[in-house]
A and B are shown apart, each in its own frame.
Chain A
Amino acid sequence: MEKIIEEARIVSRQLVRGQIFRLRLHAPNISGAARPGQFVMLRVCEGIDPLLRRPFSFSRVDAAEGDFEILYRVVGRGTLLLSRLLPGASLSLVGPLGNGFELPLTSSSPLAFLAGGIGLAPLLELIARVISERGQKGAGELRLFYGARTAEELLPEDLLCLPGLRIDFATDDGTFGYKGRITHMFEEAVAEGFGPSEIYSCGPLAMQYNVAKWALANKTMAQLSLESLIAWGLGACLGCALPAATPEDPGAERFVHVCEDGPIFSAGSIKWNKILSQQTVVPTFPFN
């Protein structure tokens, strides 16, 4: 697939809530080629701090206008610099990268989307794409289980407004919606009769692990968007590795590479018990 390096123009920038920003970029070539679940590498400044590009998922794509959007949370210097750029400024992009989500196999079966925090970003574009492919009327039962630490970090509903989508909210502290884990909320919905044929999920690694566990135990297809530190995004450096499941030879050591083989993985393709705690480091930036 063609990889594109493109100078994008910032169309608009909006502080959505808390530390979360929404950025709209004009980049006709990349927008024309983007699929849900794929990402772009974005150069936030010309200098060497930060040095590397930063990965962001497409949260909305408007190919007709030649635009796409990203939703991001400020967690470090790169995202901080990004949040200071104003409309009209230009940004260097490489993309679209990664495999992207496989759209659902069937045309009307119920689907579950699980989003933790900023993990909502790639699911928004996916849901929009599913609705437009299935047609609004026959979209079937589409449910989004969306959670964050606290109500302050949930995105406002106008951003989530997709016709035919039912949304259940959860917060860790119970300040809005269900109190507790997204996966628990989802399991309760299943106990009440919701039977998704496929699951799409994006969020913190601990959440993804629970989704994968549920999907494997219940033999439900799940596609998870996973993260790893990405230096370049085209497979050349082998830095973004995650331990791969090796069912044919459980003792073997093999790796998948998030930027090339992912970022979308099936629940069964990762060797979850070999993921190190470093893979889930909490940003230290707010402390300084």
Chain B
Amino acid sequence: MEQNTVTTNGCPDLSVQLGPLRLKNPVMSASGTFGYGEEYAGFFDLRRLGAVVVKGISLLPRAGNPAPRIVETPGGMMNAIGLENVGVERFVRLKLPFLRESGVPVIANIFGNTVEEYGELASRLDGEPGMSALEINVSCPNVKKGGMVFGTDPAMTAAVVRAVRAATTLPLVTKLTPNVTSISEVARAAEGAGSDMISCINTLAAMAVDVFSRRPRLANLIGGLSGPAVKPVALRCVYEVSRAVKCPVIGIGGIASPTDALEFLLVGASAVQVGTANFINPAVMVEILEGIERFARVEGLAELQSFIGSLDTSCLFPFSEDACSFIQSEIS
């Protein structure tokens, strides 16, 4: 649907600057939903993407949680995969070469049981050719602190980020959990400790049960909710975080269409990650990208960067005497 717009010289500039990292467009895969890229390579050219964020990687391989691990809920799904992964050595040896050769920027999602493990992982991945950035997943169980999660505590989050920062010169993304009272506080702690970007949100802690068997649906009792159902929560988090920190924010949560992605950019995200939607339509990221481009054309945006964070929170009264009057919102 081409409208009569001020089409600039054809292609709007979709590139985004994420701190030290420049991506040719703002669309990337969310960790854990895109495998190691290979699983989707048959459906489209991975180079179309801004970046690929791979499945969370730990120092040693992990078997993951008992089954059942997933369950569908209205407008979303819950998972308790338990971070099953091949471990960093096999990732570097068996999975990374494919991605490196495909030419798409690679962001490795890492998690450890201790602060030191995060540091070790970062130094192992530092200098690996083909690696564009690290995404620190601070929403996994912390063995040292008795099952607490690093990402729910600003001080622990900062400690993890510092350890990773000391171990690598790669650009760092810190991925935050929404399961906290103030996500802004955790975001500020991560930024203060040297994170170049913040990504949010990881999944929402959730539960599903069966009244006939009187049992939880997931073997793990509790799982993480994702998909369209979480989008409003994710938007609010991205809005708050992008106002709390100066570094770029990557929006994640329930994105399944071009307008979903644009909503995140509007409230302040500089880029987006797409997760659960990849399961429904394997080419969804390409469609989102094309939709963003179409939007930029229709709206006459020469570069997308100008749209980012342009949410207008002022109040406009179109039917007041003075049609131009508007007052500043109290909420901002």
A residues in contact (CB < 8 Å) with B: 2-3, 5, 43, 48-53, 92, 94, 228-229, 231-232, 234-243, 252-255, 274-279, 281-282, 284, 287
Contact = CB atoms under 8 A, between A and B. Distances in A.
B34 interface: yes
A234 B67 contact: no
Contact of A232 (B42, B66, B279): B279
Interface string B58-91: 0000011011111110111101010010000000
17 contacts: A43-B280, A51-B276, A236-B35, A237-B33, A237-B79, A239-B81, A241-B69, A241-B84, A253-B63, A255-B63, A255-B84, A275-B67, A278-B216, A278-B217, A278-B219, A282-B213, A287-B212
Contact of A237 (B43, B212, B279, B282): B279
A125 B64 CA distance: 35
Contacts of B227: 48, 51
B330 interface: no
A1 to B, nearest CB: 9
A277 B213 contact: yes
Nearest to B85: A238
Nearest to A229: B70
Contacts of A50: 72
Contacts of B40: 234, 236
A254 B66 CA distance: 9
B223 to A, nearest CB: 10
Which among B210, B211, B282 has the highest number of chain A CB atoms within 10 Å?
A: B282
B178 interface: no
A275 B210 CA distance: 17
Contacts of B84: 238, 241, 255
B283 interface: yes
A5 B67 contact: no
Given A94-B282, A238-B81, A281 B39 contact: no
B278 interface: yes
A239 B55 CA distance: 13
A237 B81 contact: yes
Contact of B228 (A48, A228, A235, A281): A48
Contacts of A274: 66
Contact residues of B: prevailing secondary structure: loop
B218 interface: yes
Given A2-B42, A255-B84, A278-B216, A238 B34 contact: no
Identify the 7 closest CB pairs spanning chains A and B, nearest first.
Answer: A239-B70, A236-B35, A232-B279, A236-B39, A241-B67, A253-B63, A48-B75
Contact of A51 (B39, B55, B218, B228): B228
Contact of B71 (A229, A254, A255, A282): A229
Contact of B66 (A49, A53, A243): A243
Contacts of A243: 66-67
Which among A51, A278, A284 has the highest number of chain B CB atoms within 10 Å?
A: A51
A49 B75 contact: yes
B194 interface: no
B67 A238 contact: no
A229 B63 contact: no
B68 A234 contact: no
A232 B32 CA distance: 12
Nearest to B29: A236
Contacts of A236: 33-35, 39-40, 278-279
A276 B228 CA distance: 29
Contacts of B22: none
A232 B278 contact: yes
B35 A235 contact: yes
B39 A234 contact: yes
Nearest to B67: A241
B215 interface: yes
A231 B218 CA distance: 14
Contacts of B216: 278
Given A235-B39, A238-B84, A254-B63, A281 B280 contact: no
A142 B20 CA distance: 66
Given A3-B43, A5-B282, A229-B70, A51 B76 contact: yes
Contacts of B34: 236
Interface string B277-288: 011111100000
A240 B81 CA distance: 9
Contacts of B35: 234-237
A279 B218 CA distance: 9
Contacts of B43: 3, 5
Nearest to B66: A276
Contacts of A43: 280
Given A236-B34, A255-B64, A282 B39 contact: no
A281 B67 CA distance: 12
Contacts of A253: 63
A256 to B, nearest CB: 10
A237 B64 CA distance: 12
B276 to A, nearest CB: 8
Contacts of B281: 92
A52 B279 contact: yes
Given A51-B280, A253-B63, A282-B212, A229 B39 contact: no
Contacts of A281: 210, 213, 217
